[in-house]
Amino acid sequence: MKNKKLLGAIAISGVLALALAGCASGSGNTGGGDGGGESVETKTADYNPQDRANLQEGGEVAFAVNEVPEQLNAFNSDGSADTQRLWSWYMPQVLLVSAEGEVTKNDSYLDAYDIGEADGNTTITFTFKDEAHFNDGTDMDWTAIDATWKANRSYDEGFNPNATDGYKQITSVEQGDTPKTAVVTFDGIYAWPSMAFLTGGVLHPAINDPAVFNEGFIGNMHPEWGAGPYTVDTFDANGGFVSFKPNPEWWGDAPLLDSVTFTAMEPDAAINAFKNGEIDMVNTNTNDRLKQVEDVDDTVVRRAQQTAKTVLLVDADKPQFEDMDVRKAFFLGVNIDQQKQIAWNGLGYEEPVAGSLNLYSFQDGYEDSFATAGLKYDPEAANKLLDDAGWKAGEDGIREKDGEKLTVTFPVFGEDPTLEALAKSLQAQQKEIGIDLQIDVRPSADFSNDFTSKNWDVVSLRFTDSDPFGPAWFCQLYCSDSGLNLSGTGTAEIDKQIADDVESKKDAESWTTAAMELEPKIIEQTWGIIPLYSGPSIYVVKNGLANLTPEPYVGLDLFGVTPVENVGWEK
């Protein structure tokens, strides 16, 4: 899996990410709803880290997910963050990441992980432990690194990876002194070697064919190709249920839990399930949801900074949005401040402007690229753009051109009062400039398929980051062949700009500077996507549940990727 991924089906709510300071939560049930104008501090990370010695052996944990996706290959561009979450529990976690973003080897899998240089080229050497193997008995060796690289290095070979960043810069993967050692060589000095092979682990060598990579995991988890402390116990795609059990093939520290379950639930169902003791933590990123469960006995509210942004995408392949001026007008008609007020009502939360898809405001090098490109709430300018584009207001105030009304479909996935309020707010804002935004409420389980098939004209979703190397994934955001860039606004010229101006840089600082300089220029050429805000990540959790959210793209441990075998209950 790569840096940015679609996080679930809560679509426009996106009340999920950035908070800058403080110490809420603790052991008490704090950080509650109806905060009004009173600020509630939010920790950078709030996942109850505990040593294994403090945790009991045995027990069960039950989680909710938005959906059990059809595409269950976490490296595939059609997978969602729920795909990655399930993947992390039964596939190898070869590299680990601290909450702050420091990458280290997982000692259960690797004897060595060394970044170096040879003949002017960056290299990575992986040495797998002798006992490391996949569940079907296949040795975990250099061929796994090779298969992972080949499946992710290009869109031209039939594979459909989530992104090629970090892989396309590799020129070779070769066996080292023994088959257990893989030597990865980049083309020259590469600024971000730590991002390669990071959050998705490594692929079983059998997944070396485009058809297998793209279609083999549709409705099939393939536990025989997995490795790790847990393996699949029950998989019920129709029922939206997956359970994991301790893996008899595992050679490392024993998993602490007897069973881990994931059940697909609509937001309201998850709230009720938590009240009834059927799941052990629940997302409460809106005041309404938080108020319903914050007083449940023996629970704690955990508030963390989530590295994610809610974004709005328009589809330039749809006739309404073929004209860039119409797309820009749409975005100038969005009152982001009003959206924030609705999203965070009662949560006691504020944040700086989310002005870049590359970096967060708390990261070095951040600049407000979208403001530089001209993004602001300006209905007057929006109306002029639409007038000049030939869209004239009809008697009902909705614009028309060539006999067609300027009507766009906006799906909302899941039923929630805050989602409804956000959607209606956006609808009213667009009506002010003569755009008829039709709200279409759909089940959460439809999210992945509807998004990837572009069954929308406008869509809101969350981009969440797996690591702190945002600019390294610049192509994933803006290249024309990226599976994440579904706005239809990428061009070959922009691809060349990215390659020449950004990806040619040999150190992270220069790369970051170049990415931030290029981002507003791309926005001015495309107007396909804007960030709205980040937000706090708030969960209500059963007391004593420790080492939470070990997977990428979940929300209490910042950039953390930690061993799933260490999730458990305090003694």
Q: What is the pLDDT of residue 270?
A: 96
**What SS3 state is found at 405?**
strand
Q: What are the Cα distances from residue 434, in Å, to 329, 339, 380?
A: 10, 19, 12
Please identify which residue in the block is written with the tokens 């993947």: 87
Three-class HEC string of 172-201: EEEECCCCCEEEEEECCCCCCHHHCCCCCC
Does residue 213 sit within a domain?
Answer: no
The CA angle 326-403-441, to the nearest 5 degrees, is 60
Does residue 384 sit within a domain?
Answer: yes
Q: What is the pLDDT of residue 466?
A: 80
Does residue 388 sit within a domain?
Answer: yes
Does residue 108 sit within a domain?
Answer: no
Whole-angstrom Cα distance, residue 244 to residue 256? 12
Q: In this structure, are residues 507 and 191 in contact, taking their beta carbons and an 8 Å threshold?
A: yes
Closest by CA to 415, choosing from 446, 438, 442, is 442
Q: Give me the domain span that covers residue 379.
A: 308-533
Does residue 349 sit within a domain?
Answer: yes
Does residue 94 sit within a domain?
Answer: no
Handedness of CA 46, 52, 53, 56 (dihedral sign): positive
Q: In this structure, are residues 131 and 191 in contact, taking their beta carbons and an 8 Å threshold?
A: no
Retrieve residue 238's tokens: 């129709």
Does residue 200 sit within a domain?
Answer: no
Three-class HEC string of 128-147: ECCCCECCCCCECCHHHHHH
Phi-psi domain of 36 (left: phi exceeds 0; alpha: psi -120 through 50; beta: other): left
Q: What is the pLDDT of residue 476?
A: 87
CATH, residue 444: 3.10.105.10
Does residue 368 sit within a domain?
Answer: yes
Q: What is the pLDDT of residue 163?
A: 85
Please identify which residue in the block is written with the tokens 């305090």: 570
Round to the nearest angstrom and report the end-to-end CA distance of the chain.
34
Tell me the one-letter amino acid at 199.
Answer: T
Domain count, the chain: 1
Residue 99: exposed, middle, or buried by beta-carbon count in 10 A (0-12, 13-18, 19+)?
buried
The whole-number mean pLDDT for each consecutive block of 10 residues of the chain, a chain of 571 residues, reads 43 25 24 57 92 98 95 92 94 94 96 97 98 98 98 94 92 98 97 88 96 98 98 97 98 98 94 97 93 95 90 96 98 97 90 92 93 98 98 96 96 88 97 98 89 94 86 90 86 96 94 97 97 93 97 87 97 97
